[in-house]
């Protein structure tokens, strides 16, 4: 795909995942091309790619619309992510961590400790934690030494909550979000302890449970547990 196509693809994907483009909203080639100041060809390829990823569906002869994702769609992807990340953690523990990976994980934990030490969080704190969380998970996947895991995860990463790098935040209840993300951070500590001890089965179990914690938010986003208007998806 050309650079203009990649730019349009990334921008549209971000707009869908953040909720800027809502379920059922139509996307046609000409208006989208005008919006991004590109020709129709890169837009056509970007829309086709997003449809293949499951974020868009056909609407009419030439247009697309944002697909309404159900809780079942998102649950399935989150469960698959848990299995894959659990496998990555087990293989990383069995292989052992090199000094660079261990230092990277320790840095994520240290910075997370500082975020949660004050006993509350602001939205910007969780935006910082989003980056730490992504770095922590990606380091474990890389440490597995199994490139097939990363490829498999890539097939699911464009669905909200299924991506290693996506977090959902309830901006109207940051007290609860402090408890939730602090608990997730403590799970990171437990995973790290299992990794450095070479406890593969333990590391795998914690990572799978860690992924399961997002399932309630997946159901909410999918419309099965009320409106998600207060939710902010960090991608």
pLDDT single digits (tens) 206-224: 999 998 876 655 454 444 4
Query: What is the DSSP-derived secondary structure letter of residue 143?
Result: H
Residue 27's nearest CA partner among 109, 77, 40 is 40
Query: Count H helices, E strands: the chain?
Result: 10, 5
**Where is pLDDT greater, at 69 or 44?**
44
- In angstroms, the CA 38 to CA 33 distance is 5
- In angstroms, the CA 78 to CA 76 distance is 6
Q: What is the 3-state secondary structure (H, E, C) of 5-19?
A: HHHHHHHHHHHHHCC
- CA 227 to centroid of chain Cα atoms: 20
- The per-residue pLDDT for range 45-67, each reduced to its tens digit, is 999 988 887 789 998 877 899 98
- In angstroms, the CA 14 to CA 162 distance is 14
Query: Does residue 38 sit in helix, strand or coil?
Result: coil
Which two tokens mark 229?
A: 């208007």
* Per-residue model confidence (pLDDT) at position 226: 42
* Per-residue model confidence (pLDDT) at position 193: 99
Q: Which fold has domain 3-66?
A: Arc Repressor Mutant, subunit A (1.10.10)
- The per-residue pLDDT for range 154-191, each reduced to its tens digit, is 877 766 566 666 666 777 888 988 998 999 999 999 99
> Exposed, middle or buried: residue 230 (CB in 10 Å: 0-12, 13-18, 19+)?
exposed
The mean pLDDT value for 79-88 works out to: 94
Question: Domain 71-234 has what CATH class?
Answer: mainly alpha
Query: Which residue ranges make up each domain of the chain?
Result: 3-66, 71-234
- In angstroms, the CA 132 to CA 201 distance is 24
* Per-residue model confidence (pLDDT) at position 168: 65
- In angstroms, the CA 158 to CA 13 distance is 8
- In angstroms, the CA 115 to CA 181 distance is 10
> Exposed, middle or buried: residue 6 (CB in 10 Å: 0-12, 13-18, 19+)?
middle
């Amino acid at each position: 795909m050309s650079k203009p196509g990649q730019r349009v693809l990334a921008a549209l994907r971000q707009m869908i995942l953040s909720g800027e483009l809502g379920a059922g909203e139509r996307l046609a080639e000409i208006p989208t091309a005008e919006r991004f100041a590109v020709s129709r060809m890169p837009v056509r390829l970007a829309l086709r790619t997003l449809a293949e990823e499951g974020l868009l569906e056909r609407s009419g002869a030439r247009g697309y619309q944002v697909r309404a994702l159900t809780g079942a769609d998102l649950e399935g992807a989150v469960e698959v992510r848990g299995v894959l990340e659990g496998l990555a953690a087990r293989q990383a523990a069995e292989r052992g961590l090199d000094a660079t990976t261990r230092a990277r994980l320790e840095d994520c934990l240290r910075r997370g400790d500082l975020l949660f030490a004050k006993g509350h969080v602001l939205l910007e704190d969780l935006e910082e934690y989003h980056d730490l969380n992504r770095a922590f998970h990606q380091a474990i996947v890389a440490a597995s030494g199994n490139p097939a895991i990363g490829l498999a995860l890539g097939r699911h990463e464009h669905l909200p909550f299924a991506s290693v790098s996506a977090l959902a935040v309830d901006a109207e209840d940051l007290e609860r979000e402090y408890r939730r993300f602090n608990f997730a951070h403590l799970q990171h500590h437990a995973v790290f302890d299992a990794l450095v001890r070479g406890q593969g089965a333990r590391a795998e179990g914690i990572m799978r449970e860690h992924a399961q914690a997002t399932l309630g938010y997946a159901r909410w986003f999918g419309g099965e547990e009320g409106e998600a208007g207060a939710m902010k998806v960090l991608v």
